[in-house]
Amino acid sequence: MVRNDELRLRPPRNRVESRAIGWWTLQSSLFALPLPIVFGVLYLFIPPARFVFVWAFFVTLVPGILYMAVMPLWRYRVHRWETTDTAVYAASGWLWQRWRVVPLSRIQTVDTMRGPLQQLFGLSGVTVTSASASGAVKINGLDHRVAAEMVEQLTRSTQATPGDAT
CA distance 145 to 151: 10
CA distance 90 to 80: 6
Smallest separation (angstroms) from other proteins to the CB of 109: 8
Q: Which of 134, 156, 159, 160 touches other proteins by CB under 8 A?
A: 134
Q: How many residues bind other proteins (CB under 8 A)?
A: 34
**139 exposure class (CB count in 10 Å sphere: 0-12, 13-18, 19+):** buried
* CB atoms near residue 106 (< 10 Å): 20
Smallest separation (angstroms) from other proteins to the CB of 38: 29
Show the site string, 12-41: x = touches other proteins by CB under 8 A, - = not: x-----------------------------
Smallest separation (angstroms) from other proteins to the CB of 62: 20
Q: Give φ, ψ of 27 to 5 degrees.
A: -60, -45
CA distance 87 to 133: 19
Smallest separation (angstroms) from other proteins to the CB of 87: 6
Smallest separation (angstroms) from other proteins to the CB of 101: 5
Whose CA is closest to 125, among 109, 114, 135?
Answer: 114
**82 exposure class (CB count in 10 Å sphere: 0-12, 13-18, 19+):** middle
By the rule CB under 8 A, 79 interacts with other proteins: no
By the rule CB under 8 A, 103 interacts with other proteins: yes
| Residue numbers at the binding site for other proteins (CB under 8 A) | 3-10, 12, 82, 84, 86-87, 89, 93, 95-103, 106, 130-135, 137, 165-166
